[in-house]
Amino acid sequence: MITTRRAIFLLTFCAFRAAATYYPLIEYSGTTFFDGFDFYGAIDNTTWGNVTYVDAADASAESLAYVNGAGNAMIKVDDVSTVLDVGIQYRKSVRLTSQAQFEIGTLFLVDVLHMPYGCSVWPSIWLNGVLAPGQIWPEAGEVDLIEAVNLFDHNQMALHTTAGCMQPANVTQSGAAGILNCNDTSSSGCTVAETKPNSYGPGFNSNNGGVWGLQFDVSGKCARFFFPSIKFWFRTRFLFISHLPLVIFIDIELMTIRRRDIHLVLAAHGIPASVSQATPTTTMNLTDWGMPSAAYPASGCNITEFFPPQQLIIGKHNALWALGRHPGGLLPVMSGDMCKCFLLSIPHLMNLPLQFSNNVAGNGSNYADAYFEIPAIRTYTVNATAASIASASASVLLQTTGAASGSISTSTGPTGTPGGAAVRLRAGGWGVLVLLGIGVLGALL
pLDDT at res. 149: 87
Residue 239 lies in a domain: yes
Residue 77 lies in a domain: yes
305 vs 309: CA distance, rounded Å: 11
Residue 38 lies in a domain: yes
Residue 106 lies in a domain: yes
Over residues 234-269, the pLDDT tens digits come to 999 875 544 444 444 444 444 444 444 444 444 455
pLDDT at res. 408: 58
| Pair 239, 270: CB distance under 8 Å | yes
Q: Which domain holds residue 430?
A: 23-436
Query: Residue 360 gets which letter from DSSP?
Result: I
Residue 402 lies in a domain: yes
| Number of structural domains in the chain | 1
Residue 7 lies in a domain: no
Residue 15 lies in a domain: no
Q: Residues with Cβ < 8 Å from 15, sequence gap 6 or more? A: none
Closest CA relative to residue 367, chosen from 171, 75, 172: 75
pLDDT at res. 340: 53
CA-angle at 415, arms to 36 and 61, nearest 5°: 65
Which parts of the chain register pLDDT below 50?
A: 1-18, 219-226, 241-267, 319-336, 341-351, 396-407, 411-445
Give the global pTM: 0.78
Residue 418 lies in a domain: yes
Residue 288's CB is within 10 A of a number of other CB atoms, namely 9
pLDDT at res. 49: 80
What CATH number is attached to the domain comprising 311?
Answer: 2.60.120.200
How would DSSP label each residue in 25-75? EEEEEGGGGGGGEEE--EE-TTT--SEEE--HHHHHHTTSEEE-TTS-EEE
Over residues 19-72, the pLDDT tens digits come to 689 999 999 999 999 999 999 999 888 877 888 999 999 999 999 999 999 999
